[in-house]
């Protein structure tokens, strides 16, 4: 089986539970700051997963690898390669498909529900109104031709599907160890008060026992798509 390409943008924002749940070989690359990114050919991978990061999805000046990531995503969808974009990854996917980045559209940090609007084989594993972790201030418009899957009042596009690609503005990859890492990482937590950090810890203890198994089931559904490509 060909490996799944995983694009990361920060050491503390890895694939989390997505990696083991894929049950496939992974090729992890971080090319966001490379002026000439070395990315595999799509014929050499069975799927593409793009993780989060603190940078803006259109900040090509400071992160010259972003255009290559967006081009790869556009080509992957055109070639019917399974794609999963998470947070920044969803924003890059939306831009690659003709959507617009909406900087500082509205900050969402913490656990909260998303309203599901359409059936999807991957997102559907989370349930009809799942509580998930949000950690973003940017948003995107719905790409032309894409299906809106989920929203919140603050973020009209929380999940979308276009062909082989699924974008999730929220964090599907989260597991307890990753949440603990984020809350201890200054780049993630510096702007949060002690009360906000305590609330995130408490909410994680309450929601992750339900969310983690559902997220693994969702990734397993994506893994089925990857295995069909082989």
Catalytic positions, written as ranges: 87, 171, 173
Facing residues of 136 across strands?
108
Cβ atoms 189, 182 nearer than 8 A = yes
How far apart CA 122 and CA 217 sit, in angstroms, is 8
Task: Give how far Cα 104 sits from Cα of 66, 91, 162, 187, Å.
Answer: 19, 13, 24, 17
For strands 139-140 and 4-7, give the pairing: unpaired
Tell me if residue 131 falls in helix, strand or coil.
strand
Q: In a 10 Å sphere around its CB, with 0-12 CB exposed, 13-18 middle and 19+ buried, how is residue 12 labelled?
A: middle
Please list, in sequence order, all residues whose beta carbon lies within 8 angstroms of the beta carbon of residue 159, skipping any fewer than 6 positions away. 90, 114, 116, 120, 123, 148, 149, 150, 151, 166, 167, 168, 169, 170
How far apart CA 197 and CA 191 sit, in angstroms, is 10
Rg of the chain taking only CA atoms, in angstroms: 16
């Amino acid at each position: 089986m060909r490996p799944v390409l995983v694009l990361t943008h920060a050491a503390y924002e890895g694939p989390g539970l997505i990696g083991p749940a894929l049950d496939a070989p992974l090729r992890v690359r971080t090319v966001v700051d490379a002026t000439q990114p070395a990315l595999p050919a799509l014929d050499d991978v069975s799927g593409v997963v793009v993780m989060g990061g603190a940078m803006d999805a259109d900040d090509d000046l400071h992160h010259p690898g972003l255009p290559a990531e967006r081009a790869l995503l556009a080509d992957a969808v055109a070639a019917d390669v399974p794609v999963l974009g998470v947070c920044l990854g969803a924003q890059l996917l939306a831009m690659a498909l003709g959507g617009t980045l909406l900087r500082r559209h509205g900050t969402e940090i913490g656990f909260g529900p998303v309203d599901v609007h359409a059936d999807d084989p991957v997102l559907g594993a989370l349930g009809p109104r799942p509580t998930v972790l949000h950690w973003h201030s940017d948003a995107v418009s719905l790409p032309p031709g894409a299906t809106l899957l989920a929203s919140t009042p603050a973020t009209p596009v929380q999940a979308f599907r276009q062909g082989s690609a699924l974008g999730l503005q929220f964090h599907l990859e989260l597991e307890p160890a990753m949440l603990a890492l984020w809350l201890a990482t200054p780049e993630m937590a510096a702007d949060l008060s002690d009360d906000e950090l305590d609330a995130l810890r408490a909410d994680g203890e309450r929601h992750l026992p339900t969310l983690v198994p559902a997220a693994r089931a969702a990734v397993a559904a994506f893994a089925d798509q990857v295995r069909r490509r082989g």
